[in-house]
Amino acid sequence: MRKAFWGMLVAGVLIAGIMVSGLPGAGGPGPRAQPAQRDGYLVLAVSWTPSWCAAEGDSRGAARCAADAGAGWLVHGLWPQHDNGGWPEFCASPHPAPRATLLEGMVDIMGDAGLAAYQWRKHGSCTGLDPAQYFAQTRAAFTALEFPEVLGPGRMLADSGQRHAPEAVLAAFHRANPAFTSDSMVLTCRDGKAQDIRLCLTNEGAPRTCDAALLARSCRARQVTLPPVR
Protein backbone atom coordinates (compact mmCIF):
# COMPACT_ATOMS: atom_id res chain seq x y z
CA MET A 1 0.00 0.00 0.00
CA ARG A 2 1.32 3.41 -0.91
CA LYS A 3 2.28 5.59 2.02
CA ALA A 4 0.97 9.14 2.19
CA PHE A 5 3.50 11.95 2.00
CA TRP A 6 2.12 13.66 5.15
CA GLY A 7 5.09 12.70 7.31
CA MET A 8 7.54 14.18 4.82
CA LEU A 9 5.45 17.29 4.26
CA VAL A 10 4.95 18.03 7.97
CA ALA A 11 8.65 17.60 8.69
CA GLY A 12 9.54 19.74 5.72
CA VAL A 13 7.15 22.55 6.72
CA LEU A 14 8.58 22.68 10.23
CA ILE A 15 12.12 22.74 8.95
CA ALA A 16 11.49 25.20 6.14
CA GLY A 17 10.56 27.89 8.64
CA ILE A 18 14.07 27.89 10.05
CA MET A 19 16.07 27.49 6.85
CA VAL A 20 18.60 30.24 6.20
CA SER A 21 18.40 32.10 2.93
CA GLY A 22 21.67 31.91 0.99
CA LEU A 23 23.24 34.14 -1.59
CA PRO A 24 23.33 33.08 -5.25
CA GLY A 25 26.04 30.56 -6.08
CA ALA A 26 27.97 30.32 -9.30
CA GLY A 27 25.41 27.94 -10.84
CA GLY A 28 27.59 24.87 -10.36
CA PRO A 29 29.53 22.88 -7.77
CA GLY A 30 32.58 24.32 -6.06
CA PRO A 31 34.30 24.30 -2.68
CA ARG A 32 33.02 26.68 0.00
CA ALA A 33 30.07 27.62 -2.19
CA GLN A 34 27.20 29.71 -0.92
CA PRO A 35 24.01 27.87 0.09
CA ALA A 36 21.29 27.42 -2.50
CA GLN A 37 18.73 30.20 -2.69
CA ARG A 38 15.33 29.60 -1.11
CA ASP A 39 13.90 29.29 -4.63
CA GLY A 40 16.20 26.27 -5.11
CA TYR A 41 15.17 22.75 -4.22
CA LEU A 42 16.37 19.43 -2.83
CA VAL A 43 17.39 16.15 -4.43
CA LEU A 44 16.98 12.92 -2.49
CA ALA A 45 19.31 10.30 -3.99
CA VAL A 46 18.56 6.68 -3.11
CA SER A 47 21.02 4.00 -4.22
CA TRP A 48 20.49 0.35 -5.11
CA THR A 49 23.11 -1.04 -2.74
CA PRO A 50 24.04 -4.22 -4.69
CA SER A 51 24.97 -2.05 -7.69
CA TRP A 52 27.12 0.20 -5.50
CA CYS A 53 28.76 -2.86 -3.97
CA ALA A 54 29.69 -4.20 -7.41
CA ALA A 55 31.13 -0.81 -8.43
CA GLU A 56 32.90 0.26 -5.23
CA GLY A 57 31.71 -1.30 -2.00
CA ASP A 58 33.17 -4.77 -2.43
CA SER A 59 36.68 -3.40 -2.94
CA ARG A 60 36.26 -1.32 0.23
CA GLY A 61 35.02 -4.24 2.28
CA ALA A 62 31.85 -2.31 3.15
CA ALA A 63 29.71 -4.02 5.78
CA ARG A 64 26.52 -3.43 3.80
CA CYS A 65 28.00 -5.48 0.95
CA ALA A 66 28.61 -8.60 3.04
CA ALA A 67 26.74 -11.83 2.37
CA ASP A 68 23.31 -11.79 4.04
CA ALA A 69 23.56 -8.02 4.69
CA GLY A 70 20.14 -7.64 3.07
CA ALA A 71 20.73 -4.04 1.93
CA GLY A 72 18.57 -2.83 -0.96
CA TRP A 73 17.58 0.83 -1.41
CA LEU A 74 19.50 3.14 0.92
CA VAL A 75 19.93 6.91 1.08
CA HIS A 76 22.92 8.26 -0.82
CA GLY A 77 22.21 11.82 0.29
CA LEU A 78 19.91 14.83 0.42
CA TRP A 79 21.35 17.59 -1.73
CA PRO A 80 20.44 21.28 -2.17
CA GLN A 81 20.16 22.14 -5.86
CA HIS A 82 19.99 25.40 -7.83
CA ASP A 83 16.92 25.93 -10.00
CA ASN A 84 19.08 26.68 -13.02
CA GLY A 85 21.32 23.65 -12.55
CA GLY A 86 24.36 22.98 -10.39
CA TRP A 87 24.61 22.84 -6.66
CA PRO A 88 26.49 24.31 -3.71
CA GLU A 89 28.82 22.13 -1.68
CA PHE A 90 31.16 22.24 1.34
CA CYS A 91 29.59 25.44 2.66
CA ALA A 92 30.80 27.36 5.70
CA SER A 93 28.07 26.30 8.12
CA PRO A 94 27.55 28.11 11.43
CA HIS A 95 26.55 24.79 12.99
CA PRO A 96 28.90 22.35 14.72
CA ALA A 97 29.68 19.00 13.15
CA PRO A 98 27.19 16.22 13.89
CA ARG A 99 27.84 14.10 16.94
CA ALA A 100 28.79 10.44 16.54
CA THR A 101 25.48 9.30 18.06
CA LEU A 102 23.53 11.24 15.42
CA LEU A 103 25.61 9.73 12.61
CA GLU A 104 25.24 6.21 13.99
CA GLY A 105 21.51 6.79 14.12
CA MET A 106 21.44 7.12 10.33
CA VAL A 107 23.09 3.77 9.60
CA ASP A 108 19.75 1.98 9.17
CA ILE A 109 18.86 4.09 6.11
CA MET A 110 22.33 5.15 4.91
CA GLY A 111 24.35 2.03 5.64
CA ASP A 112 27.39 3.78 7.07
CA ALA A 113 28.08 6.54 9.61
CA GLY A 114 31.05 7.71 7.55
CA LEU A 115 28.78 8.32 4.57
CA ALA A 116 26.40 10.29 6.79
CA ALA A 117 29.28 12.46 8.03
CA TYR A 118 30.48 13.12 4.48
CA GLN A 119 26.99 13.99 3.25
CA TRP A 120 26.67 16.55 6.04
CA ARG A 121 30.01 18.16 5.19
CA LYS A 122 29.40 18.30 1.45
CA HIS A 123 25.67 18.92 1.24
CA GLY A 124 24.00 19.36 4.62
CA SER A 125 26.28 22.31 5.42
CA CYS A 126 24.69 24.15 2.48
CA THR A 127 21.06 23.81 3.59
CA GLY A 128 21.12 26.28 6.51
CA LEU A 129 19.90 23.47 8.78
CA ASP A 130 21.74 22.11 11.76
CA PRO A 131 22.77 18.42 11.57
CA ALA A 132 19.78 17.12 13.54
CA GLN A 133 17.35 19.00 11.29
CA TYR A 134 19.15 17.93 8.12
CA PHE A 135 19.10 14.25 9.01
CA ALA A 136 15.50 14.47 10.24
CA GLN A 137 14.47 15.85 6.85
CA THR A 138 16.51 13.15 5.10
CA ARG A 139 14.75 10.41 7.07
CA ALA A 140 11.31 11.93 6.56
CA ALA A 141 11.83 12.05 2.78
CA PHE A 142 13.10 8.47 2.61
CA THR A 143 10.52 6.84 4.86
CA ALA A 144 7.67 8.42 2.88
CA LEU A 145 8.64 6.35 -0.16
CA GLU A 146 7.45 2.94 -1.32
CA PHE A 147 9.95 0.82 -3.24
CA PRO A 148 8.46 -1.60 -5.77
CA GLU A 149 9.72 -5.17 -5.95
CA VAL A 150 8.26 -5.95 -9.36
CA LEU A 151 7.80 -4.29 -12.73
CA GLY A 152 4.67 -6.28 -13.40
CA PRO A 153 3.32 -9.82 -13.08
CA GLY A 154 6.23 -12.23 -12.78
CA ARG A 155 8.89 -9.63 -13.60
CA MET A 156 11.05 -8.98 -10.57
CA LEU A 157 13.08 -5.77 -10.51
CA ALA A 158 16.04 -7.35 -8.77
CA ASP A 159 16.72 -10.71 -10.37
CA SER A 160 20.11 -12.06 -11.39
CA GLY A 161 20.57 -11.45 -15.11
CA GLN A 162 17.19 -9.77 -15.61
CA ARG A 163 17.47 -6.64 -17.76
CA HIS A 164 15.05 -3.72 -17.79
CA ALA A 165 14.67 -0.49 -19.73
CA PRO A 166 15.46 2.47 -17.43
CA GLU A 167 12.01 3.88 -18.25
CA ALA A 168 10.41 0.67 -16.95
CA VAL A 169 12.24 0.94 -13.64
CA LEU A 170 11.04 4.53 -13.20
CA ALA A 171 7.52 3.58 -14.28
CA ALA A 172 7.42 0.93 -11.55
CA PHE A 173 8.61 3.51 -9.02
CA HIS A 174 5.92 5.93 -10.24
CA ARG A 175 3.19 3.33 -9.77
CA ALA A 176 4.29 2.90 -6.16
CA ASN A 177 4.71 6.67 -5.65
CA PRO A 178 2.26 8.42 -8.04
CA ALA A 179 3.27 11.92 -6.95
CA PHE A 180 6.63 11.42 -8.66
CA THR A 181 6.35 11.79 -12.42
CA SER A 182 8.87 11.45 -15.24
CA ASP A 183 10.06 15.05 -14.83
CA SER A 184 10.60 14.77 -11.08
CA MET A 185 12.93 11.77 -10.96
CA VAL A 186 16.05 10.52 -12.68
CA LEU A 187 17.64 7.07 -12.83
CA THR A 188 21.43 6.93 -13.08
CA CYS A 189 23.40 3.90 -14.18
CA ARG A 190 26.98 2.63 -14.36
CA ASP A 191 28.44 -0.35 -16.21
CA GLY A 192 24.97 -1.52 -17.18
CA LYS A 193 23.64 -1.45 -13.60
CA ALA A 194 21.01 0.89 -12.17
CA GLN A 195 22.67 3.03 -9.50
CA ASP A 196 20.57 5.87 -8.06
CA ILE A 197 17.05 7.18 -8.30
CA ARG A 198 17.28 10.95 -7.78
CA LEU A 199 14.03 12.50 -6.62
CA CYS A 200 13.40 16.24 -6.84
CA LEU A 201 11.66 17.85 -3.87
CA THR A 202 10.64 21.31 -2.80
CA ASN A 203 12.24 22.64 0.38
CA GLU A 204 8.97 21.63 2.06
CA GLY A 205 9.39 18.01 0.91
CA ALA A 206 6.84 17.76 -1.93
CA PRO A 207 7.74 16.29 -5.36
CA ARG A 208 8.58 18.92 -7.98
CA THR A 209 10.10 19.20 -11.46
CA CYS A 210 13.86 18.66 -11.73
CA ASP A 211 15.97 21.23 -13.54
CA ALA A 212 16.92 20.50 -17.15
CA ALA A 213 20.59 19.83 -16.35
CA LEU A 214 19.67 17.17 -13.81
CA LEU A 215 17.17 15.51 -16.16
CA ALA A 216 19.92 15.36 -18.78
CA ARG A 217 21.95 13.13 -16.43
CA SER A 218 19.41 10.32 -16.75
CA CYS A 219 20.72 6.86 -17.69
CA ARG A 220 21.31 6.53 -21.45
CA ALA A 221 21.65 2.75 -21.49
CA ARG A 222 18.97 0.83 -23.35
CA GLN A 223 18.71 -1.72 -20.55
CA VAL A 224 20.03 -2.06 -17.00
CA THR A 225 20.17 -4.70 -14.31
CA LEU A 226 19.52 -4.47 -10.60
CA PRO A 227 21.72 -7.13 -8.98
CA PRO A 228 19.89 -9.18 -6.33
CA VAL A 229 20.04 -8.28 -2.67
CA ARG A 230 22.70 -10.26 -0.83
How high is the pLDDT of residue 35?
A: 66
How high is the pLDDT of residue 152?
A: 75
Mean pLDDT by 10 residues, the chain (230 residues): 40 38 38 60 97 96 94 97 93 95 98 97 95 98 95 82 94 97 97 97 96 96 95
How high is the pLDDT of residue 3?
A: 43
Domain 33-215 has CATH 3.90.730.10: yes
How high is the pLDDT of residue 25?
A: 35
Collect contacts of 221-224 with beta carbons under 8 A, ≥24 apart: 221/166, 221/189, 221/192, 222/165, 223/163, 223/164, 223/165, 223/166, 223/192, 224/163, 224/164, 224/165, 224/166, 224/169, 224/187, 224/189, 224/192, 224/193, 224/194
How high is the pLDDT of residue 36?
A: 61
How high is the pLDDT of residue 155?
A: 81
Domain ranges in the chain are 33-215
